[in-house]
Structure 1
Amino acid sequence: MHLVFATTADGRVYPEHPGGETGCVDGAVVGPAGLLDILATRLGLGGPQVPPVVRIATWQRKLEAAGRDAPRFWTASLASDGWATARQVLSWRDVLVEAGWSPTRLVDPPVRLADLAAAEQADPVVPRGRADLLREVITTIEGGAPLDIDLLELAEPSELLPPGWRQLVDAMETAGTVVRLVKSFTPVDVASDIGRLHVYLRTGLRTPLTGDGTVCDLSATSAIAAAECVAEWLACENEAGAAGDTVVIVPDGDSSLLDQALSRRGLPQLGLSPASSFRGALQVLSLSFALAWTPVDPSKLLELLLLPRPPMRRWAARTLARALAKEPGIGGPAWQRAWEQIEARLHEESMHADEGKDARQAAAEVARTRDRWRAWTSLGQHDRKAGMPAPDAIVLCRRVLEWAVELDAGGRDPLLLCVVGAARALTSALDALGHSPVTALQIDRMIDQAIADGLPDPNCHAQAGRLRAVSSPGGLWGSAHRVVWWDFAGSASSAARFPWSLKERTALEEAGCCPEPAQTANRREAAHWQAAALNARSLFLVRPRLDRGTEAAPHPFSQQLHPLLNQAQNAPSVRSEAERLFVEERVPLAAREVVRSSSVAVDLPRARSAWDLPPALAARAQDTERRESATSLEDLLTCQLRWVLQHVAGLRKGGTREIPKPERLFGNLAHAVAEAAFQPGEIPDAEVVRMRAVTALDGLLPLIAAPLLLPGYARELAFARQRVPDALASLSAILARGGFAIEGLEVEHEHDFGTVKVASRIDLVVRGPDRGRAVVDLKWTESGATAHQAKLAEGRAVQLATYSRLVEPNGAAAPAGYFLLRQQRLLAEEASPLAHEEISVSRGLAETWDVVVQDSSRLAALAQSGRGIAAGVPGATEHLPEDLALTPSPKVCAYCDMTRLCRSVSVG
Structure 2
Amino acid sequence: MDGAVVGPAGLLDILATRLGLGGPRVPPVVRIATWQRKLEAAAVDTSRFWSASMASDGWATARQLLSWRDALVEAGWSPERLVAPPARLADLAAAELVGPILPGGREDLLREVILAIEGGAAIDIDLLECVEDINLLGPGWNRLVRAVEAAGTAVRPVATSAPVDVSTDIGRLHHYLLTGQRTPFIGDGTVCDVSAVSAIAAAECVAEWLASEIEAGATGDAVVIVPSGDSSLLDQALTRRGTPLLGLSPASSFRGALQVLSLSFAVAWTPMDPGKLRELLLLPRPPIRRWAARILARALTKEPGLGGPAWQLAWEQIETRLREEAADTGDGQASCKATAEVASTLDRWRAWTNGGRYDRKTGMPAPDAIALCRRVHDWAIDLDAGGRDPLLLCVVGAARALVEALEALGHSPVTALQIDRMIDQTIAEGLPDPARHAQEGRLRAVNDPGALWGAAHRVVWWDFTGSASSSPRFPWSAREGAALDAAGCCPERPDAQRRREASHWQSAALNARSLVLVRPALDRGSEAGPHPFFQQLHPVLDRAPGAPSIGFAAERLFVEERLPLAAREVVRSSSVAVALPSAQAAWDLPPTLSQRAQDAERRESATSFDDLLTCQLRWILKHLVGLRAGGARGIPKPEQLLGNLAHAVAQAAFRPGEVPDPTIVRPRAVLALDDLLPRIAAPLLLPGHASELAFARQRIPDALASLSDILARGRFAIEGMEVEHEQDFDIVQVASRIDLVVRGPDGRRAIVDLKWTENGATAHRDKLAEGRAIQLATYSRLVEPDGAGAPAGYYLLRQQRLLAEAGSPLAHEAITVSRSLADTWDAMVEDSARLTALAKKGRGIAAGIPGAHEHLPEDLAFTAGAKTCAYCDMTRLCRSASVG
Q: TM-score range by the shorter chain?
A: over 0.9
Contact 2:269 2:356 in 1 (8 A): yes
What is residue 268 of structure 1 aligned with on the other side? 244
What is residue 102 of structure 1 aligned with on the other side? 78
How far apart are residue 306 of structure 1 and its match?
A: 1.3
Match of 2:142 among 157, 160, 166: 166
Aligned length: 884
Greater mean alpha carbon deviation, residues 803-812 or residues 261-270:
803-812
1:602 partnered with 2:559: no
What is residue 501 of structure 2 aligned with on the other side? 525
AA at the equivalent of 1:392? D
How far apart are residue 399 of structure 1 and its match?
A: 0.7
1:60 partnered with 2:36: yes
How far apart are residue 656 of structure 1 and its match?
A: 6.9
How far apart are residue 552 of structure 1 and its match?
A: 1.4
How far apart are residue 684 of structure 1 and its match?
A: 1.3
How far apart are residue 514 of structure 1 and its match?
A: 3.0
1:210 partnered with 2:165: no
AA at the equivalent of 1:189? D
* Secondary structure of the structure 2 residue equivalent to 1:27: coil
Contact 1:212 1:573 in 2 (8 A): no
1:709 partnered with 2:685: yes
Question: Per-residue CA shift, 1:586-630, capped at 9, x if unaligned?
Answer: 221111111112121111111111111111111111111111111
* Secondary structure of the structure 1 residue equivalent to 2:868: coil
What is residue 221 of structure 1 aligned with on the other side? 197
What is residue 154 of structure 1 aligned with on the other side? 130
How far apart are residue 356 of structure 1 and its match?
A: 8.2
Contact 2:185 2:542 in 1 (8 A): no
What is residue 342 of structure 2 aligned with on the other side? 366
Greater mean alpha carbon deviation, residues 756-765 or residues 654-663:
654-663
How far apart are residue 364 of structure 1 and its match?
A: 2.0
Contact 2:186 2:548 in 1 (8 A): no
Change (3 A) 1:627 1:259: same
**Aligned counterparts of 2:583 and 2:136: Cα–Cα separation in 1:** 67
* Secondary structure of the structure 1 residue equivalent to 2:603: coil
Change (3 A) 1:91 1:139: same
What is residue 4 of structure 1 aligned with on the other side? none
What is residue 715 of structure 2 aligned with on the other side? 739
How far apart are residue 135 of structure 1 and its match?
A: 1.2
What is residue 158 of structure 2 aligned with on the other side? 182
What is residue 434 of structure 2 aligned with on the other side? 458
How far apart are residue 573 of structure 1 and its match?
A: 3.1
**Aligned counterparts of 1:859 and 1:358: Cα–Cα separation in 2:** 56
What is residue 230 of structure 1 aligned with on the other side? 206
What is residue 322 of structure 1 aligned with on the other side? 298
What is residue 698 of structure 1 aligned with on the other side? 674
What is residue 6 of structure 2 aligned with on the other side? 30
What is residue 645 of structure 1 aligned with on the other side? 621
1:516 partnered with 2:518: no
Contact 2:468 2:532 in 1 (8 A): no
Contact 1:804 1:815 in 2 (8 A): yes
AA at the equivalent of 1:144? G
Match of 2:424 among 448, 460, 478: 448
What is residue 380 of structure 2 aligned with on the other side? 404
How far apart are residue 883 of structure 1 and its match?
A: 2.6
Contact 2:329 2:335 in 1 (8 A): no
**Aligned counterparts of 1:32 and 1:907: Cα–Cα separation in 2:** 61
What is residue 106 of structure 2 aligned with on the other side? 130
TM-score (norm 1): 0.96
What is residue 841 of structure 1 aligned with on the other side? 817
How far apart are residue 315 of structure 1 and its match?
A: 1.2
1:560 partnered with 2:533: no
How far apart are residue 690 of structure 1 and its match?
A: 1.3
State the superposition RMSD in angstroms.
Answer: 1.5
Q: Where in structure 2 are the equivalents of 1:690-839 lying within 5 Å?
A: 690-839=666-815
Question: Per-residue CA shift, 1:309-348, capped at 9, x if unaligned?
Answer: 1111111111111111111111011111111111111111
AA at the equivalent of 1:107? V
* Secondary structure of the structure 2 residue equivalent to 1:783: coil
AA at the equivalent of 1:261? A
* Secondary structure of the structure 2 residue equivalent to 1:856: helix
How far apart are residue 352 of structure 1 and its match?
A: 5.0
Change (3 A) 1:571 1:709: farther
Contact 1:893 1:907 in 2 (8 A): no
Q: Where in structure 2 are the equivalents of 1:631-710 lying within 5 Å?
A: 631-655=607-631, 657-710=633-686
How far apart are residue 876 of structure 1 and its match?
A: 1.5
Contact 1:211 1:569 in 2 (8 A): no
Question: Per-residue CA shift, 1:75-109, capped at 9, x if unaligned?
Answer: 11111111111111111111111111111121111
**Aligned counterparts of 1:313 and 1:169: Cα–Cα separation in 2:** 54
How far apart are residue 584 of structure 1 and its match?
A: 1.5
AA at the equivalent of 1:277? S
* Secondary structure of the structure 2 residue equivalent to 1:252: coil
AA at the equivalent of 2:212? C
Change (3 A) 1:313 1:496: same
**Aligned counterparts of 1:214 and 1:606: Cα–Cα separation in 2:** 48
Contact 2:274 2:300 in 1 (8 A): yes
Change (3 A) 1:367 1:764: same
Match of 2:253 among 256, 265, 277: 277
AA at the equivalent of 2:869? C
What is residue 832 of structure 2 aligned with on the other side? 856
Contact 1:484 1:541 in 2 (8 A): yes
Contact 2:673 2:697 in 1 (8 A): yes
What is residue 405 of structure 2 aligned with on the other side? 429
Structure 2: tracts of 5 or more residues without a match: none
* Secondary structure of the structure 2 residue equivalent to 1:268: coil
**Aligned counterparts of 2:815 and 2:279: Cα–Cα separation in 1:** 47
What is residue 46 of structure 2 aligned with on the other side? 70
What is residue 473 of structure 2 aligned with on the other side? 497
**Aligned counterparts of 2:566 and 2:554: Cα–Cα separation in 1:** 12
Question: Per-residue CA shift, 1:751-774, capped at 9, x if unaligned?
Answer: 111000011100000001100000
AA at the equivalent of 1:465? G
Greater mean alpha carbon deviation, residues 186-195 or residues 289-298:
186-195
The sequence identity of aligned pairs, in percent, is 77
How far apart are residue 144 of structure 1 and its match?
A: 2.1
Question: Per-residue CA shift, 1:448-497, capped at 9, x if unaligned?
Answer: 11111100011110000000000000000111001000010122433221
How far apart are residue 409 of structure 1 and its match?
A: 0.8
What is residue 841 of structure 2 aligned with on the other side? 865
Contact 1:762 1:777 in 2 (8 A): yes
What is residue 88 of structure 1 aligned with on the other side? 64
Contact 2:135 2:142 in 1 (8 A): yes
**Aligned counterparts of 1:239 and 1:355: Cα–Cα separation in 2:** 69
Contact 1:213 1:573 in 2 (8 A): no
What is residue 22 of structure 1 aligned with on the other side? none
How far apart are residue 570 of structure 1 and its match?
A: 5.5
Question: Per-residue CA shift, 1:53-78, capped at 9, x if unaligned?
Answer: 00010011111111113111111111
1:587 partnered with 2:576: no
Question: Per-residue CA shift, 1:368-413, capped at 9, x if unaligned?
Answer: 1111111011111111111111111101100110111111111111
How far apart are residue 811 of structure 1 and its match?
A: 4.1
* Secondary structure of the structure 1 residue equivalent to 2:818: coil
* Secondary structure of the structure 1 residue equivalent to 2:252: coil
Contact 2:660 2:708 in 1 (8 A): yes
**Aligned counterparts of 2:211 and 2:270: Cα–Cα separation in 1:** 57
**Aligned counterparts of 2:532 and 2:329: Cα–Cα separation in 1:** 66
TM-score (norm 2): 0.98
1:309 partnered with 2:288: no
